Amino acid sequence: MRRLRSILAICGAAILAVAQPVAAQHAAIDPQAWIAYKTKFLDASGRIIDNGNGNISHSEGQGYGLLLAYLANSPADFEQIWYFTRTELLLRDDGLAAWKWDPAVTPHITDTNNASDGDLLIAYALALAGSAWNKKDYLQAAATMAKALLSRVVIDAGGRTLLIPGVDGYRAPGRKDGPIINPSYWIYEAIPVMALLAPSDRWQKLTDDGVGLLRSMQFGPRKLPADWVSLRARPEPADGFEAEFGYNAIRIPLYLVRAGIDDKVLLTRLQQGMTVEGDEPGTIDLATGKPKQVLADSGYRIVNDVVACVVSGTKLPTSVRQFAPSLYYPSTLQLLGLAFVAEKHPECL
């Protein structure tokens, strides 16, 4: 146990050094914006409510909530969210979280499969908070999840290291077109931290292969990745899913820039491909290139605006700098975007 504490202390210092988002103990999110967010989406039990999806909670939302509470420098809110997460979702025997919690059914968890992006977010937020606030129990929980991720959902296939979306249902023989990936599940800023928690060269290869796939996946006239991709042979939209650049993929450019991946060619292609009106992104039918839905919420529009800031130094419009929470998902993306620009590109404010 003494050796574990020593390892965690060293790991904690290293996490602060490598984390791209600021890891100092001050708020990267405006306090009033955080109050507005948690008033809208944080239940007294500690669950983050997805009000655009039947008021369910899920591991992704809990992970986002933890990360935002950390960026808001709010240990009490962080602990509240973590309590629900560990008592209601961390029920699997492999150290990963069940992905969905539904208030309308009993028992509340009807599908015990995990979602690897939710697990990554939870482990990442725990590592950052444990390091900044000297909470060894957070660091230990983060290390346990990182090891489980490495052994259960980081796989080697076709010469690549991949992140499959969940333990069950995304690989052959169950999926004849497997392995299936979701490119938006690669949370690039979290991966170097996972490598400190569960050391392996495979983490760096996971980043390299994820970015390489994004560069190669240029489907349809707009040259965009799909939400769900088969890697049975060359990448192609996966069977049984809409062949679209959808709500999942909207966040990919934000994940890239938050991780310091400033490949301007890639970012510009994604930005141009997803933009349908002015700076408003949309979901895209990949076969035709036609927009399926314009996403006018500030939380979606800020993704393009953050890319424009990174690529060309363009200031964020006033409309996306003002935070008025609406739906859980775009509101989350907006706070992540604002926190990133405030810390890394204040010249764009």
Does 177 participate in catalysis according to the annotation? no
The alpha carbon of residue 344 and the mean position of all alpha carbons in its chain are separated, in whole angstroms, by 18
Go through 305-333 and write b for each residue having 16 or more CB atoms within 10 A of its CB, e for each that does not: bbbbbbbeeeebeeebbebebebbbbbbb
The CB-based long-range contact list for 134-143 (8 Å cut-off, 24+ gap) reads 134/12, 136/5, 136/8, 136/9, 136/12, 138/82, 139/8, 139/11, 139/12, 139/197, 140/4, 140/8, 141/86, 142/193, 142/197, 143/8, 143/11, 143/197, 143/198
DSSP string, 200-243: -THHHHHHHHHHHHHHH--BTTTTB--SSEE-SSS-EEPTTS--
Q: What Rg do the C-alpha atoms of the chain give, in angstroms? A: 19
Cβ-based neighbours of 67, under 8 Å, separated by 6 or more: 121, 124, 125, 128, 336
Chain centre to alpha carbon of residue 129: 17
Is 117 a known active-site residue? yes
Q: φ, ψ for residue 38 (rounded to 5)?
A: -70, -30
- Catalytic, out of 50, 77, 88, 117: 117
Please identify every residue annotated as catalytic.
Answer: 60, 117
